[in-house]
Amino acid sequence: MPAMSSHAIACSDHECLISLGSNIEPEQHYVKALAILERECELIANSKVIHTSPVGYQLQPDFLNAALLVRTSFSYADFRAYLKAVEDRLGRIRGPIKSGPRTMDLDIVAWDGEVVDEAYYQYDYVRGPADEVLASSGRTLKPKKNS
């Protein structure tokens, strides 16, 4: 990851790599999510959209997946809560099936260049778009620290 400027450090800005997924009116919800995040954060880069088959629960439509790299002044915990609020604003209903249909799923994959979600290593639908964003923005990732 390129060195941050002294201004960025003074402002406590953080870079967040986000995995995005939707399979309920996905094109519409992707456009809305992108607009919200572009308006409320600093969008650095975004991947092309890919379409993937569901993982886990199979009786649902295919997913639209993408990745975004944004800059925020929120802390990790606050930004995670913010993303859940964005999901809610986009009509996300959390049902009994964790891998079931959703209007929008926004997950933090990496925080300040460090992988924080094992899904990056486990799923091509996360890693492919994330790697595209990293390549286009000149960033690299450090492995997740052992807890």
Identify the active-site residue in 105, 117, 124, 139: 105
Within 8 A by CB and 6+ apart from 117, the residues are 19, 107, 108, 109, 110, 126, 144
Which SS3 state, helix, strand or coil, does residue 12 take? coil
Say which amino acid occupies 6.
S
Identify the active-site residue in 39, 71, 89, 107: 107
Active site residue 39: no
Identify the active-site residue in 102, 112, 124, 127: 102
Give CA separation, 21 vs 2, 27, 75, in Å.
27, 10, 23
Active site residue 112: no
Active site residue 102: yes
Identify the active-site residue in 71, 92, 124, 131: 92
Report, as residue numbers or ranges, the catalytic residues.
Answer: 92, 102, 105, 107
